[in-house]
Chains A and B, each alone.
Chain A
Amino acid sequence: MIRGKAVVFGDNVDTDVIIPARYLTSTDPEELGKHCMEGLDPHFPQRITPGATILVAGKNFGCGSSREHAPLALKGCGVSAVVAASFARIFFRNAINIGLPILESEEAARGIREGDTVSIDLARGEIRNETTGEIFWARPFPPFLQEIIAAGGLMNLVEKRVKG
């Protein structure tokens, strides 16, 4: 169970604002996390309670570049999960591959306000707005993706495959 306060953004949040290119020489999630969302809100890390913040956004979250530094920065600064109306496809893959929980639900994206307390049951895809009492359901992942998520990321699966 993931639980935390919502921080809310709009549509088309791109990877350049999630983590500007000038920081991409680092691959360390914590270092990247210090600059997370800097393009939209330089004080974003202060809005976060590590382990107890859920980022909520509109459509096409994570559009733009393929930089995996974007989901790493979100993870590194302590965002527990991202709920969006929809995700750009490369970001979607990257988040699953590195084990950042993401959920797609237009209703949830519309029905959660800044500061609402949200709890998420990942296995069931249930998103609960505790502040309003509303419940939303995320689009379920196909079994193959569930396998990657359950393994804790793609490389854990690959490692099993090559090392037997």
Chain B
Amino acid sequence: MGMTITEKIIAAHAGKDRVVPGELVEVTVDVMLANDITAPLSIKELEKRGIATIADPEKIVLVADHNTPARDISSAENVKLMREFAKKHGIRHFFEGGEVGIEHVLLPELGLVVPGDLVIGADSHTCTYGALGAFATGMGSTDLAASWVLGRTWLRVPESLKFVLSGERRPFVTGKDLILFIIGQIGVDGARYCAMEFEGPVIQSLSMDERFTMANMAIEAGAKNGIIAPDDTTLAYVRATGTSRTPRLFSSDPDAEWKEIHTIDVSSIEPQVAFPHLPSNTRSVYAIPKIEIDQVVIGSCTNGRIEDLRMAASVLRGRKVRKGVRLLIFPGSPKVLKQAEEEGLIKIFLEAGAVIAPPSCGPCLGGHLGVLASGERCASTTNRNFIGRMGHETSEVYLVNPYIAASSAVAGYITSPERL
């Protein structure tokens, strides 16, 4: 019996020839990530106990991306705590100020994660790095604190679900629509505790940016990780980062064991809109009533990369944001922002009447920079539309791709580019 890519990466980090689903293993970890919401808990836990042992500072990454630039005094204190901790332990990969991007945009871009890695992060969207052919999963602050000390963590080897995507994509159907469609099919716990592996001709044709979008939302189906086997597209991306780390290429054996195999013909998939308050409440954009909106957010670890901004700009070029609608654009990283500037996208956004916000999580989690008032509606390229996610409990978030988000900002209600 063969193994899946997920099982192979876990086995390699557990010092074993093979592992099987359900097995509990202890693994070495290549990258251990936390942000300004989760790191303070980890740091306080260690300091309270007087533990000053850190296994390997090179493997720790700390990104102050959530409540930054500091939203209030306590957010500022949290970043200060991270800064001092990084200094004390010689942690080089601490990002704040002008170096900050959203962690899951930043780490791949800087070559801090490479194929074959085992990554844990105190952030649920750590699963994003699966797009590189790494095993990456979210945990909590205590798990991270323990891994910083031990350099290891424990895992239950997940069962794997395989999604094979083939067919021709329709216009304006992106990686976001494919993953929303899948979540709509299997539900928000459809992949609970499992690995989601994506493959097939459609996946091979996707750019890295769209692959990141898909792996990013695996957690929205409850998955432990999402993963795509590395290919030439992956390697070209990794090489371009100039990383000094060496990729390790794994892929699933033909006789690996799958808990489920889903074969999906994408030809009939239309751009998706996930209605409040679950990412699985998906409908075709062509089959929805008129939903007027107050705000549009383009950005996040799901859709804050350069291609996402290009999609939005292709719609906004020469058009204006409807009066009464706020369009907020959050480039995912300083590099994305710089490139958008060089390509003239920022000018298009400004002329359309958008607000350009600093690279950060922004209003994605309702903390800061664009929070919704009671009853307000937002079309957003983010990944969650839970009750109160972006502000008041009675506000509503509709999850869409960047084309739909941009079109909706122009129309004032949720719509697609060809209907403008």
Per the CB 8 Å criterion, the residue count for chain B at the interface is 50
Q: Count A interface residues, CB 8 Å.
A: 41
Once bound together, how far apart are the Cα atoms of A64 and B384, in whole Å?
8
How long is the Cα–Cα vector from A16 to B385 in the complex, in angstroms?
10
The answer on a CB contact under 8 Å between B38 and A66 is yes
Chain A residues 1 to 60 lying within 8 A of chain B, measured CB to CB, are 12, 14, 16-17, 20-22, 24-27, 38-40, 59-60
Contact residues in A for B157 (Cβ distance below 8 Å): none
Contacts A40-B387, A60-B192, A68-B38 known; A22 to B367 CB distance under 8 Å? yes
A89 touches B224 (CB 8 A): yes
The docked-state distance in angstroms from the alpha carbon of A14 to that of B385 is: 11
| A84-105 with Cβ < 8 A to chain B | 86, 88-90, 93-94, 97-98
Distance (whole angstroms) from the CB of A68 to the closest CB of chain B? 4
Q: Number of contacts between A and B (CB, 8 Å)?
A: 135
| Interface hit among A119-127, A128-136, A155-163 | A155-163
Asked whether A113 is an interface residue with its Cβ less than 8 Å from the other chain, the reply is no
B264 contacts A by Cβ under 8 Å: no
> Which residues of chain B are within 8 angstroms of A63 by Cβ–Cβ distance?
188-189, 222
Contact partner, A162, options B24, B51, B71, B138, Cβ 8 Å: B51
Q: Which of B119-146 contact A (CB under 8 A)?
A: 121-124, 126, 138-143, 145-146
Taking the complex as formed, is B45 at the interface, i.e. its CB lies under 8 A from any CB of chain A?
yes
Chain B 292-336: CB-based contact to A (< 8 A → 1; otherwise 0): 000000000000000000000000000000000000000000000
For A71, the closest partner residue in chain B by CB is B140
Q: CB < 8 Å: which of B189, B193, B388 contacts A12?
A: B189
Task: Determine whether B402 belongs to the interface, using a CB cutoff of 8 Å to chain A.
Answer: no
What's the Cα separation between A153 and B45 when bound, in Å? 12
Q: What chain A residues lie within 8 Å of B222 (beta carbons)? A: 60, 63, 88-89
Q: Let me know if B188 and A66 touch, CB within 8 A.
A: no
Asked whether, in the complex, the Cβ of A158 is within 8 Å of the Cβ of B124, the reply is: no
- Interface membership of B365, Cβ < 8 A: yes
Which of chain A's residues have a CB closer than 8 A to the CB of B192? 60, 86, 88-89
Residue from A17, A64, A69 with most neighbouring chain B CB atoms (10 Å) = A64
- In the complex, which residues of chain A have a beta carbon less than 8 angstroms from the beta carbon of B75? 25
B44 within 8 A of A: yes
B351 to chain A, nearest CB (A): 32
CA distance A17 to B66 in the complex (A): 18
**Chain A residues with CB under 8 A of B384:** 14, 16, 64-65
B20 contacts chain A at the CB level, 8 A cutoff? no
Cβ-defined contact, A27 with B51, below 8 A: no
**CB <8 Å contact, B142 and A154:** yes
Residues of A within 8 A of B371 (CB): 22
Q: Is the CB of B188 within 8 A of A161?
A: no
Contact partners of A162 in chain B: CB under 8 A: 51, 53, 149-150
CB B6 to nearest CB in A, in angstroms, measures 14
**Also in contact, A20 and B366, with CB within 8 A (given A25-B67, A89-B192, A162-B149):** yes
Q: Which among A24, A60, A94, A97 is the interface contact of B189 at CB below 8 angstroms? A: A60
Contacts of A94 in B (CB 8 A): 139-143
**B143 → chain A closest CB, angstroms:** 6
Tell me if B370 is interfacial: C-beta within 8 Å of chain A.
no
Q: Is residue B258 within 8 Å, beta carbon to beta carbon, of the partner chain?
A: no
User: Closest residue of chain B to A98, judged by CB?
Assistant: B142
* Beta-carbon contact of B143 and A17 below 8 Å: no
The answer to whether A17 and B38 have CB atoms under 8 Å apart is: no
A88 to B384, CA, bound (A): 15
Whether A93 contacts B140 by the Cβ 8 Å rule is yes
Are B365's CB and A97's CB within 8 A?
A: no
Confirm or deny: B278 has a beta carbon within 8 angstroms of a beta carbon on chain A.
yes
Does any Cβ of A come within 8 Å of B415's Cβ?
no
Looking at A89, A142, A162, which has the most chain B CB atoms within 10 Å of its CB? Answer: A89
Chain A CB within 8 A of B49 CB: yes
Question: Which of A21, A86, A93 is within 8 Å of B365, CB to CB?
Answer: A21
Chain A residues with Cβ under 8 A from B140's Cβ?
66-68, 90, 93-94, 97-98
A161 to B384, CA, bound (A): 38
Interface string of A106-147 (1 = CB under 8 A from B): 000000000000000000000000000000000000101000
Are A66 and B123 also in contact (CB < 8 A) when A21-B366, A93-B139, A161-B150 are? yes
Contacts A21-B389, A25-B75 known; list 15 others, CB within 8 Å. Answer: A14-B386, A22-B371, A24-B66, A27-B40, A38-B388, A39-B388, A65-B384, A66-B138, A68-B38, A69-B41, A89-B192, A89-B222, A98-B140, A142-B24, A155-B49
- Complex A-B, nearest 7 residue pairs according to Cβ-Cβ distance, in ascending order: A94-B140, A25-B74, A97-B142, A68-B140, A60-B189, A21-B365, A16-B386
